[in-house]
Amino acid sequence: MSPSEHVIIIGAGIGGLTAGLSLQRAGYRISVYEQAPEFGEIGAGIMLTPNATRVLLNLGLESGLMAKGDRPTASLYRKFDTAEIMQSTPLNDRVATYGAPQVHIHRADLHRTLLDAVAAYDPSCLHTSHVCERVEQTADGVRAVFANGTVAEGGVLIGCDGARSVVRATLFGRESPHFTGQVAWRGLVPAAGLPDTVSGPASTVWIGPDHHVVQYGVRHGTFVNFVAVARTKWEEEGWNIPANVSDLLSEFDGWHPDLRALLAATPAGTCFKWGLFDREPADVWTQGRITLLGDAAHPMLPLMAQGSAMAIEDGCVLARCLSDLPVEKALQRYEHMRAPRAGGIILRSRAAAGLYQNVRGDKSAERQAYVDSIYTYDATTVAV
Ligand SMILES: Cc1cc2nc3c(=O)[nH]c(=O)nc-3n(C[C@H](O)[C@H](O)[C@H](O)COP(=O)(O)OP(=O)(O)OC[C@H]3O[C@@H](n4cnc5c(N)ncnc54)[C@H](O)[C@@H]3O)c2cc1C
């Protein structure tokens, strides 16, 4: 694609900003349109697995990522009621295998790092309070129409507008993602005073029947982030609903006292829950000069911690394809490269319930094979 083409990005989440920065580094002019009145991310942590950090380091974000992120020493799996360690993998030993570290970071810190890097190229490319209503192909390009009456025109458009994507609905119809039968609670808890089992430098998955909890430190171990997931019913509208800690404790009745101490310490008003939705893997994300990226293309269960990682890989591969080929061929190539990878991980994330919410049998080898096969993918060098 010629560097004179202007790329329109809808949505300034982790996916939109990574794609934007990848394109800027490849020499393209971008404009990013975000619906919210301010740029930002939710107050929670995120696990960046080596397949994601490899891309972020390649984008020159090492200082931000390493200064703000935590490097867990090990990945532990504990039994829900006894806290027995069922599996332990020292993570520093795995850096050589994966070629990049695992980093846990507050989402706001990752988002700010990406935003600053994009703004350093061009502060005028970032626009808030732009709710995209529809997108259109024109004779020689693309157009996005916003609720505030503005219209943006360019040569390529990337829908990075999340699981309820308007760009996706415009291209392929308004079919909602479906409920997976799993509900998640999240909390960010000050680490001071918590038992060592839940506040140490390892990341831990607590495994129980039809339930699991992932917990790890962020902001240099001063906070513990948890995501507690249960197979249960979901009848509420919305994605980010304030939750009662007492309801959460009832759901995790019978779990180890140290884990319950973590859940119970969630500061008042900061525990949230939401139903987990995904889509069937799709082979087609693209029409002409418009494509999808991140959750807009492939929302998935968070059981393998791969949603953002897939969005980050998408951005890297998309920029590489656009650098090499004319626009429409490049978008086809991108889709061809990425749809099987992301679709495979949608299916693995569903199947992972059998590994993370099931205490029967020794699943260590299977769990390790799962993560090894995901983490070794290199979006920066994979043939495009
Ligand atoms: C409980 C849980 C834990 C998770 N943990 C991890 C993890 O540890 N590691 C990991 O890699 N992934 C994790 N994920 C997945 C990850 O959070 C998502 O996959 C990722 O945030 C998707 O990024 P995105 O940029 O594609 O979409 P989003 O983050 O949804 O961003 C979309 C952006 O588009 C904007 N937007 C939406 N509609 C419009 C519109 N019409 N016009 C303009 N702007 C619009 C939104 O405001 C938003 O800023 C987790 C998910 C859940 C639910």
Q: What is the pLDDT of residues 95-150, one digit of tens each?
A: 888 999 999 999 999 999 999 999 999 999 999 999 999 999 998 899 999 999 99
8-state DSSP, 177: P
8-state DSSP, 283: S
Ramachandran quadrant class, 353 (left: phi over 0; alpha: psi -120 to 50; beta: rest): alpha
Mutate-to-test residue for ligand 1 from 18, 21, 35, 298, highest number of ligand atoms within 8 A of CB: 35
Going from the Cα of 299 to the center of ligand 1, the distance in angstroms, rounded, reads 9
pLDDT at site 350: 93
The verdict on whether 216 is a catalytic residue reads yes
Q: Is the pLDDT of residue 235 over 80?
A: no
Which atom of ligand 1 is nearest to 47's Cα? 8
Q: Give this prediction's pTM.
A: 0.96
Strands 156-159 and 29-33: unpaired
CATH code at 6-177+279-375? 3.50.50.60
Residue nearest to atom 31 of ligand 1 (CA): 13
Q: Is the pLDDT of residue 237 over 80?
A: no
Mutate-to-test residue for ligand 1 from 295, 312, 377, highest number of ligand atoms within 8 A of CB: 295
8-state DSSP, 282: -
pLDDT at site 168: 97
One of 33, 98, 216, 356 is an active-site residue; which one?
216
Confidence of residue 239 (pLDDT cuts 50, 70, 90): low
Q: What CA–CA distances, in Å, run from 354 to 233, 306, 369?
A: 19, 17, 14
Confidence of residue 92 (pLDDT cuts 50, 70, 90): confident
pLDDT at site 257: 98
Q: Where are the domains of the chain?
A: 6-177+279-375
pLDDT at site 2: 77
Q: Is the pLDDT of residue 264 over 70?
A: yes
Confidence of residue 289 (pLDDT cuts 50, 70, 90): very high
For residues 223 and 262, is the Cβ–Cβ distance under 8 A? no
Tens of pLDDT, residues 195-222: 999 999 999 999 999 999 999 999 999 9
Gap between the Cα atoms of 136 and 147, Å rounded: 15
pLDDT at site 96: 81
